[in-house]
Amino acid sequence: MQLADKYSPEQIEQKWYDFWIAENLFHSEPDAREPYTIVIPPPNVTGMLHMGHMLNNTLQDVLVRRARMQGKNACWVPGTDHASIATEAKVVKKLAEQGIKKSDLTREEFLKHAWDWTNEHGGIILKQLRKLGASCDWERTAFTMDEIRSKSVIRVFCDLYNKGLIYRGLRMVNWDPKAQTALSNEEVIYREEKSKLYYLKYYVDEAAGSTDGEEEGAVVLNATDAFDPTVKHQILHRDAEGRRYAVVATTRPETIMGDTAMCINPKDPKNTWLKGKSVIVPLVNRVVPIIEDRYVEIEFGTGCLKVTPAHDVNDYMLGKTHNLETIDIFNADATISEAGGMYVGMDRMDVRKQIVKDLAEANLLEKVEDYDNKVGYSERNADTAVEPRLCMQWFLRMQHFADIALPPVMNDEIKFHPAKYKTTYNNWLTNIQDWCISRQLWWGHRIPAYFLPTAEGAEEKFVVAESREEALALAKAIPGYEGITAEELRHDEDALDTWFSSWLWPLSLFNGILDPDNKEINYYYSTDDLVTGPDIIFFWIARMIMAGYEWRGAKPFKNVYFTGIVRDKLGRKMSKQLGNSPDPLDLIAKYGADGMRVAMLMSTSAGNDVMFDEALCEQGRNFGNKIWNAYRLINMWEVDTTLEQPEAAKEAITWFDEVMRERIARINHDMEQYRISEAFTELYRLFWDDFSGWYLEMVKPAYQCPADSKTIERTKHYFDQLLRLLHPFMPFITEEIWQDLKPEEGVKSIVVAQQPQVDREADTTILARFALVEELITAIRNVRKQKNIAQKEALTLNYIADENYPAEFSAVIAKMGNIKAIEAVVEKDATAAAFIVKTTQYFVPMEGKIDKEAELKKLGDDLTYYEGFLASVMKKLSNERFISSAPEKVVANERAKQADAEAKIAAIKAQMEALK
RNA sequence: GGGAGCAUAGCUCAGCUGGUUCAGAGCAUCUGCCUUACAAGCAGAGGGUCAGGGGUUCGAAUCCCUUUGCUCCCACCA
């Protein structure tokens, strides 16, 4: 075949991907082989491929392809996630653009829109993955909201409810007033913000001018006095009429309608006079008690805290401890509710502005300070501040799950790569909180709870069942509800948290929830490797481990490989706003999928971020080109079967056999340790430097000369092996060449070819001897360069024989150095360019081209270095404690270094002698 | 506030159980080559006080302490 001199990925990638699909090479069915399974971290169904996906899926594909080539039954299951909040937000936004409000639609109408959207945009991301070469078993493509996965979720919910692990409770949740949904703590992003701290006056509920509770020496501040919060004695305030008041600092004056107490620290000397009293909430005029709790920071503000149990998480805890009333003053959209009594219907932010004015007017505002505050925002609606809100929610008790999920990670039954994330995992699981699993969304799995009609104000009654029919049966069994009809059951409106389906992924993909003893789950589960980011350890990884043990009694995966975040070369996170995120498909078009994959592989080690630079793609493309051209070279060799195998080729093969043994072992070792980047780098250098740079040059026949069949055969064998090693990393180019090389009858694709095996350990003596050859060749090249001698001008090489002269490679030395004669000599040649490799002295006759002074200087420098080196070795060896405590091997090694250095020094001195 | 991690060449990073000439690789830079596989290439070269300080050890980039700088996670002082 005639090959172009540049490799063009675009022409071949689609062809081979289509071929792999047509030949069904990625499809897996249970059989007698050992399974190797990966489940994909499901991308959002309507998402687009970004650089993070490239990294993550490149790594998974490397693992899967390699396993497949190791004779395992490899199965990589793809799928997508319904991503309830993100997808619903997108649909709401799209509808809004068409002038449709979600609140105007019925649930069914909205879901129709959502499904239309999903069907239209869904799965694009999976198609994009094919461009990368991902060898997923597409026949198994799943969706978290398809039938099996949906039923699994509902079944699991009912199971947990029946086990008593699910409960319903009023909880302070992070409320997104725009999406009108509860968010988990993990979905709230805190941002530093410039805001104000408002100091409000809370008058004491008593007769004017009272001194009740004041100590001797109390500092009385008037409204105009400066206030120092660090004062260690009592402080109280009086207005012009002599009425006493306390000052409360707050960032949220609009919540005072919900105040049901004021709290002080019992140890706060400033505020002891307030103990046991009541105060009047400004403007609202409600009398609330002063409670004492050590939660209050004495140093903050005035040491007085207003307590609003309905609208602050900490206040809620205080309210529970001190049995306070809870007044919820907000509607779901964060406007003031009837219960607020004032500003009803106004938005919280508008109320803040207004109430500050009103407070000032009523002379109830002491002062306003600038304040740096952290405000929680919704991960999905970046401009929407989260409102703490009390809601009836569904919760999953987590202690049980923490107990079953912690040990297997800590004792390495499930291995984390890198292991440092075990600590993170441990921290979370040992301080676990119950999981709020309900979301006020429509797009998702609807909670299978059905409420029974109850009298106004009575406690709610509900049943949990997989279907309305079953729910009805359960309801009828409740005394007083015998005659209930299906229509009277009110299905819970809320959907489940997306992660409540994701945590089942390794189980539900093989239908292990609905049909726990089926052939597939029994075969593929536990899966082998999970590749994902450390940011979802809690959301996903921990919970999959919990689910795996809960429903199957076995780990969901054996290894977790953590990827880092893909950043730009300046170290910034890639984001749409910054516009620093290249489109991966553009990069693939420009550099080829293999080039793209190499870029990802070159720059990542487990758990570390990737500083992405387009130059890496270029490097990847260049490597593809290098492979291509190496193949072009051997492809154009003519065979002459009558030809004897040249000596140089024999020697090269002797050496390269050992190189392959050593490198393959190293690559295998790296891969076993999940050092994927290192394994690839190893391979890169093996191909580029050792194979192309040295081996091919050593066996290459002269221009337009034929080659002998033994050498060609062996070279093609190496090439085949290298392609197999490279295939998991660079699937397309390796297939293209492999198909042309056709090294193995009956194997239709390199995809299913076997990885090379190592028959024995490499002979390190041969490798060490050849290292001397490389050094010698380099030295000869340096002589040429220094003396300006062209490569094609043949030279003579003389040497003084000793045990470090690699005589067994003399043909290679002659060929690589373009040496016409190699001769052992006894006399030094003062007119020759001289150098030393290890201890062997070499001379290249130069006939007067020698600069004696320069040579002497160079030798002198070398002498100084080696004498210093010898001195440091001798220092060690003369240290008795070193001799007695260091292992024998190390001491022996120092002795060897001593001998080498002495020989080297002798050689240098001899050469200097010869020059003079 | 709690926890974890990082700091090695201009850049991105290896350096695994402390010990081989251990101070490395790739990229970038510089020099010389358009040598018939490859200029997307070849042959060479320069470049680091292993963040600072202290300790343990016969021996430290590696282990311990400490200072400095950076990153991430968790918590969320109104």
Q: What is the pLDDT of residues A243-279, one digit of tens each?
A: 888 899 898 999 999 999 999 888 888 888 888 889 9
ipTM, interface predicted TM-score of the complex:
0.93
What's the residue count for chain A?
916
Chain B: positions less than 7 Å from a protein CB are: 2-5, 11-16, 19-21, 25-28, 35-45, 57-59, 72-78
Q: How far apart are CA A82 and CA A143, in angstroms?
A: 7
Highest mean pLDDT among A305-319, A560-574, A597-611, A792-806: A792-806
The DSSP result for A272-337, as a single string, is: GGGTT-EEE-TTT--EEEEEE-TTS-SSSTTSEEEE-TTS-HHHHHHHHHHT------B-TTSBBP
Strand B lies under 7 A from the Cβ of residue A696 = yes
The nucleotide minimizing the C1' distance to residue A838's CA is B21
The nucleotide minimizing the C1' distance to residue A426's CA is B3
**pLDDT higher than threshold 90 for residue A648:** yes
Strand B lies under 7 A from the Cβ of residue A224 = no
Q: Are the CB atoms for A117 and A90 separated by under 8 Å?
A: yes
> In the prediction, which pLDDT does A443 show?
93
Q: How far apart are CA A59 and CA A724, in angstroms?
A: 17
Q: How far apart are CA A9 and CA A653, in angstroms?
A: 31
Q: How far apart are CA A363 and CA A417, in angstroms?
A: 62
Q: Are the CB atoms for A627 and A733 separated by under 8 Å?
A: yes
Buried b (16+ CB within 10 A) or exposed e, A308-322: bbbbbebbbebbeeb
Residues in A 759-788 whose C-beta is less than 7 A from nucleic strand B are 777-778, 781-782, 785
User: A122 forms bridges with which residues in the sheet?
Assistant: none
Q: How far apart are CA A720 and CA A726, in angstroms?
A: 10
Q: Are the CB atoms for A651 and A698 separated by under 8 Å?
A: yes
Average pLDDT, chain A: 89
Residues in A 541-570 whose C-beta is less than 7 A from nucleic strand B are 569
In sequence order, which residues have a C-beta less than 8 Å from that of residue A353 and are 6 or more positions away? Answer: none
Q: Quick one: pLDDT band at residue A731, thresholds 50, 70, 90?
A: very high
Distance of C1' in B16 from CA in A669, Å: 11
Strand B lies under 7 A from the Cβ of residue A885 = yes
Residues in A 243-272 whose C-beta is less than 7 A from nucleic strand B are 249-252
The nucleotide minimizing the C1' distance to residue A689's CA is B42
The DSSP result for A807-865, as a single string, is: GGGHHHHHHHHTEEEEEE-SS--TTEEEEEETTEEEEEE-SS---HHHHHHHHHHHHHH
Can you tell me which residue has its alpha carbon closest to the C1' of nucleotide B31? A785
**pLDDT higher than threshold 80 for residue A127:** yes
Distance of C1' in B78 from CA in A280, Å: 18
In sequence order, which residues have a C-beta less than 8 Å from that of residue A479 and are 6 or more positions away? Answer: none
> In the prediction, which pLDDT does A542 show?
94
Residues in A 97-126 whose C-beta is less than 7 A from nucleic strand B are none
Q: How far apart are CA A82 and CA A251, in angstroms?
A: 38
Residues in A 370-409 whose C-beta is less than 7 A from nucleic strand B are 373-374
Can you tell me which residue has its alpha carbon closest to the C1' of nucleotide B39? A622
The nucleotide minimizing the C1' distance to residue A631's CA is B37
Distance of C1' in B27 from CA in A615, Å: 8
Strand B lies under 7 A from the Cβ of residue A5 = yes
> In the prediction, which pLDDT does A432 show?
85
Compute φ and ψ for A41, nearest 5 degrees.
Answer: -70, 110
Q: What is the mean pLDDT of residues A153-172?
A: 92
H/E element, A800: strand A795-800
> In the prediction, which pLDDT does A402 show?
92
Strand B lies under 7 A from the Cβ of residue A352 = no
**pLDDT higher than threshold 80 for residue A716:** yes
- Among residues A704, A726, A700, which one has the least CA distance to residue A634? A700
Can you tell me which residue has its alpha carbon closest to the C1' of nucleotide B28? A615
Task: Express each pLDDT in A492-546 by its tens digit.
Answer: 999 999 999 999 999 999 999 999 999 999 999 999 999 998 888 888 999 999 9
DSSP-derived letter for residue A42 is P
Strand B lies under 7 A from the Cβ of residue A303 = yes
H/E element, A13: helix A9-22
Can you tell me which residue has its alpha carbon closest to the C1' of nucleotide B5? A420
Q: Are the CB atoms for A757 and A70 separated by under 8 Å?
A: no
Residues in A 409-428 whose C-beta is less than 7 A from nucleic strand B are 420, 423-424, 427-428
Strand B lies under 7 A from the Cβ of residue A906 = no
Task: Kindly report the pTM of this predicted structure.
Answer: 0.89
Poorest-confidence range of A60-69, A131-140, A203-212, A292-301? A203-212
In sequence order, which residues have a C-beta less than 8 Å from that of residue A386 and are 6 or more positions away? Answer: A174, A175, A176, A183, A188, A375, A376, A377, A378
Distance of C1' in B47 from CA in A782, Å: 20
